[in-house]
Structure formats: C-alpha cells, structure tokens
A and B are shown apart, each in its own frame.
Chain A
C-alpha cells in the first residue's frame, strides 16, 4: 500500500537525530544523559510505528521504500540493539572522557542508515543507506578524541570502509552495465534469463559480495575488525559487532533469497561463499585463541560468528538466519555490556588477567557474562545453541555435510577460548581489587534484559519463531 506512513519510522529517527544534535549545544556537560533519554523516547515511538505497520505492507517512492515484514522485524531488532547500546553508553561515555551528546545523534543516524538498507531492494538506495551508516560509524569509532587507539580505529575504519564502498559501487556499476537493472529481483531475473554479458555481471556480483564481506568482516576481508573493535569505545564496539553485521547479512539474504529462488545457481558464487564461510569460521576462531585482550577476543569471535551466519545463507535457511541474528544480538551486546561493567573512571579492565576471580567478587556480572559466553560457545539451553542448531541442521538438509562438520569443529575451538575467560573468572584467585563503578543501573538493566533474551530464545522461542517465519515467508 502506497502510504506516507511508510516513512514514519525513518522520519522519527532522523528527526530525533537532528533534534539531539541541536539540543547538544544547549545542554550542560553534566546533563548529557537527558539526550540519551530523548533518544530512547524516539526509539520507542519508532518501535510503536513499526508494530503498527505490521501486516500493513506500506511502501512509498514508487515502492522503492517498502516496509515488508522482514524490514519491520529487522528494524525492530536494530531498535532494541541501539537502545541497549545507548543505555550501556550513558555512564560509560562520562567515565571514559567521551561525554559528547553526538554519541546519541550519531547512533540514531547510523540506525536510520540501517533502516534504509533493510527496507529496500534497490541497490542504489541500499548504497545510500550504507553510506549514512558508515559515515556515522567512522565518527563513532573516534569518539574518544584524545585516545590514540580510538583515533587509529576511526582512521582504519574510514580507510577500509571507503575501500569496501568503492568495491561495492564498482560492482554495482558492472551489474548495471550488464543487466541495465538496479533492483535485486530484476538483476536476478537477468541472471536466469541467460542473456549476454553474464561474465561481466558475475564479476560485478562477486565484487558486491566482496564489498559486503568487508562490512560484515568475513575472512579474508576482516583485517580491520580487531583494531577497530579494540580501539572504539566499548558501547560503539558492541554496536559495530551487531548493527552493521546484521544489516549486511540482511542485504545478502534478500539478494540470495531471490537469487536461488530464480532457479539460477552458479557454482562459482556458491564455491566462493563456501570457501569464505570455511575460512571465516576457522580463522576467526583460531586467531581468537591467541588473544589476551578480551575485547579483541570478542572481535575475533564476532568474525567467527559471521562465518556461521554465512552458513545459513548457503543453507537457504532465512528463518534460521534471522533467528541467529536475534540471538547474536542479545548474547553479543550482553557480553560487551559485561565488559563495560568492569570499568572505572578513565580505566577499563579488558585484559584476561584482570578477570581473575571476578566471578565470585561480582557474582551478577560474572554469572551473566558466563551465560553469554556459554551462549556464544553454543551450549544448550541458551539461544546460541538453538541458533546453531537451526542453521546447521538446515545446512545438512541442503547436503552441506562437510561444511557443517568444519563448522562444529570450529565451534569446538571456540569453546576453548570462551571457557578460558570463565576459567579466569571463577577458577583463579583475584590478583587485585578492581574497585569498579557499580552505580550503573542502566547497564545492569541491559545485562538482565540480554540474559532474559538469551534464555527465552534458547528455551521457549515459540512466538519469536512464529514471527520470524512469518517475516521470511515471502523470501524463499
């Protein structure tokens, strides 16, 4: 249905971002939290719009912006992620000397970029959304202006991100040149029509995949990830590890859903994805083994998880993919929130040695962090297990048994480094007092919401699964 209401969620967020930017100039440094509350308010309004548009199928701009079920569901997930990041960030940015109201505005802008990307099938508009997301992300990475690592993170992200965008645009140009189409379904239709110039189009498609592979940090396009994740302020890292990754997979899902539905199946593209998935799962986990810094370890772990999610694309399991994204959101933001809990003024505790004995010293932080790590490692009865179960079982149904065997062995490797953190937390004596700041109710709220999410999705995901299946029913 062509309706102006299709723009409502997006406009809410953009308006919120601009309002926060303006207010930023007038608000005292001590009261920056109010900007967070205002931003959260806009997120809630946007969530209400999303829920009300369910089943309404709104679209605008001649259908270029189309709020189908999948777009709404993913937007809703992004809203949750952004809200979590804002809540955890409130205390963090004032403690870590990064108390700028722009934090909220940039997050909202990045969110709007992601919303654009999931609500369209037009590659040009996707690119538009991607740039909105990326530019805000570069600025977010450098939020701690005086910090060398943060600056390094921003520059690296900017350089590699532009490089990836260049790949993407060049790929799009080739695709357009060959097929004279710019929307995903038409491009796919062109491939199945076996018209001329397929080779050029195939190269273009490959470059588009590479462009997105940069964004979602698939091996061998992952080099920037650890440095960027380590250097960026931790709430921003949590956002990076969930937001851009999910949105990249959402676009890949739309692309490959119609690609494989079209009956056209290229062995080259399939082989390319297969190889990337194997490399990502293995390398991500193997390098994570050697990390002594937990934040960096979580960066590599997020690379490995991208590999598992790519298996979902190969397995054509769209419901499994979205479920994985949802589970990943809760467990990863949860893990990063636990990291953020271990901080005090101008100091974060991120080295593995800092974790000695904190499990019994801070039982709630320790216990929730342990649950998130178990979930990331894929132990039942957590969301991480169920997500892997769905993805891998679908892959076996598609006959990808060797891939699944590599996948489970890779996750066996991951068990080692996730459990090592737990060893430090529970099985070693504390080396020194951390005296971390405990008055941080917003962060504890996020910890508990994530814990709830991980367990709910792991044990009784019933209704969530129904909604997800409904959302992706139009895809495959």
Chain B
C-alpha cells in the first residue's frame, strides 16, 4: 500500500494539536513555531495532492478505504476535482490565519492553537470523507473547536454568537442525521447489505416521494451552513464576534462546506427532488444575493458589512450550483475559492485595522490611507477582488458563473448581475468613508502602517488573486472531469431509475409502489 497521503493531511494537524499539549503554556514562541510548522507541512503535503492529481480521472483519487466499525461504517477517504481545491484552500489559509493571530490573541495561546489545528482536521475531513458516517463525524466534530474559538476568544457578545452558531448548525445536521438513517435502512432493505458508502448510494434509485423528505433534511443542513436566506441570521453574529482568524476560517472555508454538501450529497443523491425544488432554491439564492447586498450597504460595522457581503456572494455561488450545468458548476467552485481568498483577506484587513483602532465602526475612521499607505494598497486589492475587477480572481469566477446561469435562465442571470453592482456600491462606499478624505479622528495619526509579518501573510493571498485572475486554467482544468461526471450523474439518474429493472433500486421501487406511504 502506498503512502496514505490523505490521512496524513487530515490527521497531521490533530497530531500537532496533541503535541502542543506537551509544550508549556508560557512559551509563546515555541507554541507558535510548532503550530506553524505543522500547518506548513500540512500545506506542503497537500500540494503533492495537486501535482499528483490526474486531471483526466473523474473518480476520487488517492482513495483510502478500510474497515472501521463494520455494518457499512467504513473509513473511506478520497479526493476529486470538486474537493481538491477546497482542501488546498484550507491548508493554504491555515498558516496565514495562525500568523495573523500572533498579536491579536494575547491570552490562552496554547489552547487557541490547539483548537485551530483540531478545526483544520475537522474541515479537511469533511471535504475528504466519502462514507456518510465519517462525513457526519467530521461535520459535527468540527463544531467543537469552532464553538470554543468564538466563545473564548471572541468579542463582547461572543457567548450569544457561539450558542447561536452551534444550535443553528446542530438543528440542520441532526435532521440530516435522521435522513442518513433513512438512507441507511432503505439501502439495507433494498439490498440486504449494510452500506454508508456514498458511491453505493449514487447507484441507488430512490422513490421520488421519499427523495423529497431526504432532500429537505440534507439541504436544510447545508443551507444553514452556506448560509442561504432565510437561515443566515447566525452568520453576522458569529462573524462579528469571532476573533480575526476565526472569521477568516469561518468565511473562507466553513461556508464552503455547505455548498460542497450540495454538490457532493444533496444534489446527486436526490436528483428528482432537486428538480422539484429548483424554483424555490433559485429564488432563495436570488433573495440572498440582493438582501445580503442591501444589508451590507447599511452596516455601520466594517466586519458585519463583510459578513453580509458573504451572504450575497454565497447567494451567487448557490445560484450557479442550482443552474445544474457544467459552466455554472465550475464557476461556482471557482467562485468559492475566490470568495475564500477575497473575503478571507478582507477579514484579515479588518483585523489589522481593529488591532490599531480597537473599533470597527465606519464612522470612527476617515483618511486612514494617508497614515497607512501600504495597508491601503492591500485593502484596495482585496476589495477589488471581491468586487470582481478584471485581472483579479473575482472577475473570472463571476463571469463563468454568469455564463452558466445565463444558459439556464436569462432572467436569473440578469437579476444575479446585481451582485456585482451591489458589491461595488457597498465596498467602494465603505472604502471611501474609511480610507479616503481628510483624517477625521486624531487617533488615526497614531496608527502604524503594516509590519513585515502582516505584509508577509497577505502577499501570498495577493499572488494567488492575480494568478487566479490571469491564468485560471491551472485550476479549472483539474475540475473538468469530475464536474462533467457530476453533471452527467444528475442528468442520467432518471434513466437509470427506469431502464435497469435488475438494479437493486427496482426492488425498492416496487416495494414503495405496493406500500404507499
């Protein structure tokens, strides 16, 4: 057996967290060195995934499969074109998030670093798991470190925010758990064997009536995570209260887990239900785009402005996901990466500003760019990337999304364009009020410009923004095969369902027909 590279990437941070426990808590330098070393090694190893990834294969690669608890509960990891870049995004941003915490987190550093690394294991596990049990374990286990990160190191209303975050997410995921039980028992009754393997479920044709309930349960869990309107209310609270690094990870990666869940589970498992609910989902995404944008316009706090911009941007991603065609899906994945980089960077920028000003209210600022020119440049790039300026990554993602959405529905594409207009409005206006004009507040004169550490962790993000904006082929071509297979899986499911009477699915259908529920 070859080197278990996926397990290594997944569990190395956890191992690092365990090692951190043995370092005395007053040795800040040693703690950070250890955590950063682990995060960098994880990133380096995950790069191997990229270089060894076979772009022509649609099926999961580097697959690791082993017996675990029996009765269908197996250890099954794999990576394909959909999850590859989300994993890379996670491992890329984690060292940056850790570096950004150096001066922000002043107490309980050891516990903080431990939770960050455990969080990384949870997130990577979610993207790699191909067994529903394993997926659920990572999905839930990841809540624990996030709960502590917001609750211990967060702002004034942190306890309210962290409770809201955990309870909202749990509500969705517990109902998803029930749906997983139903799938589990349905598969058992249809075939006589236990399985929780995702690919076994892809083969299973489900009664459309049953699909509706299961799809609702799955998509509630994912819609809360994305978050789609009207399940977004936890997001501004969690973002505003979380420490900078927590917000970065939350916005850049955790939200993607919801969209990823739709792509990996909810849509391909229940294609019939998707077609039924498509109008509702599309309308909710559109509302999310416009509502998020309008709410961002009126925010007084920069961080909650960025948080609402996430709602708007993720609305566009979800609209692209629900367009169910090749361009839109690739665009959605690409836009997820863009959003991870640009919003992640915006949160880092806000964090840098907050460390100096200890406020995030727009009215407290004005003319900051005179005092902090370097900072101003980075802020501008992050903002333009988020707005979608050609040459930067946001433009590519949005344009592919719009092409895809357009080929599904012109009206929706036209409505969706509003995301760009709104983003330009709220971000530029905010930038103008905070950075430009005369210095309105004496305190601003005491702000230092960014130091080397801060520049150091922002530069890689800027490089990636330009790279993704100028040469997207590096990323898109690795996705093609997997996304094509994903689309054909959705489109062909109905035929499989009808034409192959010998499949285990058929037995199930008959069973369901004779016993109307």
Which A residues have a C-beta under 8 Å from some C-beta of B? 360, 374, 379-381, 385-386, 389, 392-393, 395-397, 401, 404-405, 408-409, 411-412, 415-416, 419, 422-423, 426-427, 461-462, 465
Contact = CB atoms under 8 A, between A and B. Distances in A.
Nearest to A399: B185
A412 B188 contact: no
B53 interface: no
A393 B166 contact: no
Contact of B140 (A360, A380, A393, A405): A380
A412 B182 contact: no
B175 interface: yes
A385 B111 CA distance: 24
Given A381-B141, A462-B69, A404 B178 contact: yes
A461 B69 contact: yes
B140 A385 contact: yes
Nearest to B138: A380
Interface in B152-200: 152, 158-159, 162-163, 166-167, 170-171, 174-175, 177-178, 181-182, 184-185, 188-189
Given A380-B136, A405-B178, A393 B167 contact: no
Interface stretch (B97-105, B142-150, B432-440, B463-471): B142-150
A416 to B, nearest CB: 7
Given A381-B137, A426-B151, A419 B69 contact: no
Contacts of A405: 175, 178
B69 A393 contact: no
Among all A-B residue pairs, the 6 with the closest Cβ atoms: A396-B181, A397-B185, A408-B174, A380-B137, A393-B181, A427-B151
Contacts of B70: 465
A401 B178 contact: yes
Contacts of B151: 423, 426-427
B108 interface: yes
B167 A415 contact: yes
Nearest to A423: B159
Q: How large is the interface on B (under 10, 10 to 19, 20 to 34, 35 or more residues)?
A: 20 to 34
Nearest to B143: A379
A408 B175 contact: yes
Interface in B378-426: none
Interface string B49-86: 00000000000000000000110000000000000000
A455 B265 CA distance: 28
A427 to B, nearest CB: 5
B280 to A, nearest CB: 22
Contacts of A379: 140-141, 143-144
B181 A419 contact: no
A436 B21 CA distance: 24
B180 to A, nearest CB: 8
Given A360-B108, A392-B181, A412 B140 contact: no
A114 to B, nearest CB: 29
Contacts of A374: 144
17 contacts: A379-B140, A380-B136, A385-B140, A389-B133, A393-B181, A396-B181, A401-B178, A408-B175, A408-B177, A408-B178, A409-B174, A411-B174, A412-B170, A412-B171, A412-B174, A416-B167, A423-B151
Contacts of B167: 412, 415-416
B166 A415 contact: yes
Contacts of A411: 174
Nearest to A380: B137
A427 B153 CA distance: 8
A419 B147 contact: yes
Given A426-B152, A427-B152, A419 B185 contact: no
Given A393-B181, A427-B162, A465-B70, 13 more contacts: A360-B111, A379-B140, A385-B137, A386-B69, A395-B181, A397-B189, A405-B178, A408-B175, A415-B166, A422-B147, A426-B151, A427-B151, A461-B69
Contacts of B141: 379-381
Interface string B111-154: 10000000000000000000001001100110110011001100
Contact of B188 (A392, A397, A419, A427): A397
Contacts of B69: 386, 461-462, 465
Contact of A393 (B152, B159, B162, B185): B185
A90 to B, nearest CB: 29
Contacts of A396: 178, 181-182, 184-185
A314 to B, nearest CB: 14
A462 B144 CA distance: 25
B171 A392 contact: no
Nearest to B188: A397
A392 B144 contact: no
Contacts of B181: 392-393, 395-397, 404
A419 B148 contact: no
B137 A419 contact: no
Contacts of A395: 181
B246 to A, nearest CB: 14
Contacts of B136: 380
Contacts of A392: 177-178, 181
B144 A427 contact: no
Nearest to B111: A360
A374 B171 CA distance: 16
A464 to B, nearest CB: 11
A401 B144 contact: no
A393 to B, nearest CB: 5
Of listed A396, A405, A412, A416, residue having the most chain B CB within 10 A = A396
Contacts of A422: 147
A385 to B, nearest CB: 7
Contacts of A416: 163, 167
A286 to B, nearest CB: 15
B190 to A, nearest CB: 12
B140 A427 contact: no
Contacts of A393: 181, 184-185
A465 B68 CA distance: 12
A413 to B, nearest CB: 9
Nearest to A427: B151
Nearest to A405: B178
A454 to B, nearest CB: 14
B170 A415 contact: yes
A427 B188 CA distance: 44
A437 B332 CA distance: 58
Contacts of B140: 379-380, 385
A96 B70 CA distance: 47
Contacts of B143: 379
Nearest to A411: B174
Contacts of B133: 389
Nearest to B148: A426
B508 to A, nearest CB: 14
B163 A419 contact: yes
A412 B143 CA distance: 14
A465 B71 CA distance: 11
Contacts of A381: 137, 141
A313 to B, nearest CB: 17
A449 to B, nearest CB: 19
A426 B158 CA distance: 12
A405 B182 CA distance: 11
Nearest to B139: A380
B110 to A, nearest CB: 10
Nearest to A458: B137
A24 B406 CA distance: 86
Nearest to B217: A405
Contacts of A462: 69
A293 to B, nearest CB: 20
A360 B111 CA distance: 9
Contacts of A386: 69
A328 B65 CA distance: 30
A404 B180 CA distance: 12
Contacts of B108: 360
A426 B147 CA distance: 11
A364 to B, nearest CB: 11
A274 B24 CA distance: 52
